[in-house]
A and B are shown apart, each in its own frame.
Chain A
Amino acid sequence: MHASALHRRIRRFAVALLALVVATAAVGFHAGWRRAQERASRANRRALVGALGFADLALSSSVRWIRHPSQIEPNAARSDLPGALDVDPAGALIGPPEEP
């Protein structure tokens, strides 16, 4: 009775472990599928970036230096609204570019 209780614990542990392994395998499969999709579309995206002329990501169009941090003047966070502070939280992720 006692031994079967112990084995039951191990079995439950093994089932939980297996569930995690299966979930991890599913994540790996999904990641592989997404990466294959990305590789397939990369040439097109590179052509688009080549035509646009900048690789900046369109994450936030509300402030110019965040929309095109590679192109727009440094320290321009305040230039969009006179006297305004850098109120956009995107400033937490993408800082003003450094002068080359």
Chain B
Amino acid sequence: MSGGSMDAGGWRRQRALLEYALGTFRRRGRRNLSMIVGLTFVVALYASVLLLTESLRHEWRATLDATPDLVVQRMVAGRPALIDADETFGVTDEPGVREIAPRVWGYLFVEAIGGNVTVVASQDAETRWASSLASGRNLRPAGEVPEALVGEALADRLGVRAGDRLAIPDAAGELRVLEIAGVFDHDSAMHSADVLVTTLAVARTLLAVPEAQATDIALTLARSEEAPAVARRVREALPGARVIERSALVRTYELTFDGRAGLLAVVLLPCLAAFLLLCWDRLTGLGEMERREIGILKAIGWETRDVLTARLWESATIAVGGVWIGYLLAYGYVYLLGAPGLAGALFGWSALHPTLELTPAARLEHLASLAGLVVLPFLGVSLIPAWRAATLDPDEAMR
């Protein structure tokens, strides 16, 4: 017999076993359907966490290298305090230091919306904001009325549009009138939802930051590799200062996302374990009909291997179908619906939050992890009882 005809024979055999296995969906439809639904649910839940976390990580990674190489905060009593705006830490002579920029930013609780607004002073009003505005224009440094740019969520919550005027209480409780020069666009909402950008003088007033002081100081270097050396000099010049290096942030964020996603996945593991236990319970208790069926198959000449292969087809159809549908549902849930419920539970209560429009970050490792966690254990719990029944004597199995 040629190899080709053996292959054809093997294919015909597998097709016949698959047809037989598909027949079980009619005979044991309710049981198989309930297992597909259970698998789909578990996989959708687990995959949603994976997709959501991966997309947030992607979002953060895509913009991280636009941040300053070093940020210096003055610490008083172990907490960040205002820093002299003209502080240069004696590093101005360093050829690698490109810019030393005092920043004024902070939080302002706005009672009307019951939430914190992130107030950021604009360093240069002319150029840097225009590309991210959905409507309106850049800040004018010296307009008749002080101006502000606001995030999409903040504008929605306050009910303002570009050109409107807004009275907002400053840190001293006095109302300040601002004209909304522009509203940030939807694409930047993940970074700007709760942001109010205004001129340096207005930001100082809103946040009660005195003249000549700043929230922190950002250093931009010509080469990021020089950050540790410059950070060392800054610490020497200002003992006790907290110097945040961008490279340290990368490590911190990676660890944070990995750790927290892992924690969530671990929380879901009991759910998976409970489901597999349920499957084990259902499948080990082979019904009388099923035992008789296996007995008849063996009596008419089926080998143990054939019985197991048919069961493998049946279980693989359930497992792969459940994982496939579950992953597709997770995709729709996270990327089309914005993960309602899960996102709310993870991000917490917040008066201002962006519409979650994440960039899909499906990865092959997700499928590998799902196969390892769900498909293989499921095949295991379904094949072992079938193997037990298939090795019985046909006469005993039919009795």
A residues neighboring B (CB under 8 Å): 6, 9-10, 12-13, 16, 20, 23-24, 27, 30-31, 34-35, 37-38, 41-64, 66-73, 76, 79, 88-95, 97-100
B260/A93 in contact, CB under 8 A: yes
Pull 28 A–B residue pairs with CB atoms less than 8 Å apart, ordered by A. Answer: A6-B19, A6-B23, A10-B18, A20-B321, A34-B335, A42-B62, A42-B63, A45-B63, A48-B132, A48-B192, A49-B64, A52-B192, A52-B195, A53-B103, A53-B120, A60-B350, A61-B118, A61-B353, A67-B107, A69-B253, A70-B249, A71-B73, A88-B349, A89-B348, A90-B347, A90-B348, A92-B260, A95-B259
Q: Known: A31-B360, A95-B259, A100-B245. Is A47-B190 also a contact (CB below 8 A)? A: no
A58/B193 in contact, CB under 8 A: yes
Chain A facing B: main interface SS: helix
User: Smallest distance from the beta carbon of A40 to chain B beta carbons, Å?
Assistant: 9
Q: How far is the CA of A49 from the CA of B324 in the complex (A)?
A: 37
Interface size class, chain B: 35 or more
Minimal Cβ-Cβ distance residue in B for A3:
B19
Instruction: Tell me the chain B residues, 347-368 only, with Cβ under 8 Å from chain A.
Output: 347-354, 359-360, 362
Task: Judge if B236 is at the interface, Cβ distance under 8 Å.
Answer: no
Q: How far is the CA of A81 from the CA of B180 in the complex (A)?
A: 31
Give the residue of A9, A44, A54, A79 whose beta carbon is less than 8 angstroms from that of B132: A44
Chain A residues near B256 (CB-CB < 8 A): 69, 94-95, 97
Task: Judge if B222 is at the interface, Cβ distance under 8 Å.
Answer: no
Minimal Cβ-Cβ distance residue in A for B216:
A71
Q: How far is the CA of A16 from the CA of B260 in the complex (A)?
A: 36
Minimal Cβ-Cβ distance residue in B for A99:
B242
B residues neighboring A (CB under 8 Å): 15-16, 18-19, 22-23, 26, 53, 56, 59-60, 62-68, 71, 73, 78-80, 103, 105, 107, 115-118, 120, 122-123, 128-129, 131-132, 151, 153, 184-185, 187-195, 197, 216, 218, 242-245, 248-249, 252-253, 255-256, 259-260, 263-264, 317, 321, 324-325, 328, 331-332, 335-336, 345-354, 359-360, 362
Give the residue of A27, A67, A97, A98 whose beta carbon is less than 8 angstroms from that of B118: A67
